Structure 1
Amino acid sequence: MTTHKIYKMSFSKVYPNYIAKAEKKGRTKSEVDEIIRWLTGYTQDELEAQLEKQVDFETFFAEAPQLNPNRVLIKGVICGVRVEEIEDPLMQNIRYLDKLMVPSRILCNVR
């Protein structure tokens, strides 16, 4: 399996970009957190702990308490790729999150 640069990128460094983009679209930090919690199963305290520990994306998803089984219903194109066709489970989970933050496409330039 190819190791992508994004896997070792700190989730806590990207998180403010999710919030900034959401706020530009009239959304709030709490809505961003709700999306992340829905996808990963983290509680708010667990999410904040992960941010404080500055874990990378790989660790963030590996330690997720319970990935939402309905995430596979997320369809569409992100960064020019159909999320439902991504074969690497970690990359697919990262792109699910990015897709949920649409129209942000925050991580499109990171491969």
Structure 2
Amino acid sequence: MTNPRIFAMPFSQIYPLYINKVERKGATKADVDEVIMWLTGYSQVQLQQRLASQASLKTFFEEAPDFNANAQLITGVICGVRVEEIENPLLQKIRYLDKLVDEVAKGKAMVKILRK
């Protein structure tokens, strides 16, 4: 279940879509940044550098400083597929982030989104 096209997409192209999605529902850019930093281990400065560098999704996730061990607690359906059943590790990481952004947009409490 590989999809090289999505892996090659610049993260900086997808990031504004996440922001638009949550802002339409009353959440903020800061909320999106928080879930990205929690999931990947990037700092705010590192995240901004990644956005400026036009890093692909593949590079963004492969070079994440400290991918959160609690990511395995993220469950549910995204794009009609259960995230916990995705076999490709890179695609699963991408879908984990999609799921977190969906939860932010739905107004779920941040403490629950971050699996604390």
Q: TM-score, normalised by structure 2?
A: 0.86
Give aligned pairs, total: 104
- In the alignment, which residue of structure 2 is the partner of 1:76? 76
1:4-32 deviation line (CA, Å, top 9, x unaligned): 31000010011001001110110001110
Partner Cα distance (2:49, 2:83) in 1: 28
- In the alignment, which residue of structure 2 is the partner of 1:58? 58
- RMSD value, Cα: 1.3
- In the alignment, which residue of structure 1 is the partner of 2:92? 92
- In the alignment, which residue of structure 2 is the partner of 1:6? 6
Partner Cα distance (1:29, 1:3) in 2: 28
- In the alignment, which residue of structure 1 is the partner of 2:33? 33
- Name the aligned partner's letter for residue 54 of structure 1: Q
- In the alignment, which residue of structure 2 is the partner of 1:21? 21
- Name the aligned partner's letter for residue 50 of structure 1: R
Query: Any unmatched runs of 5+ in structure 2?
Result: 106-116
- Name the aligned partner's letter for residue 13 of structure 1: Q
Partner Cα distance (1:35, 1:2) in 2: 25
SS of the equivalent of 1:26 reads: coil
TM-superposed deviation, 1:2: 3.2
TM-superposed deviation, 1:85: 0.3
TM-superposed deviation, 1:3: 4.2
SS of the equivalent of 2:61 reads: helix
SS of the equivalent of 2:37 reads: helix
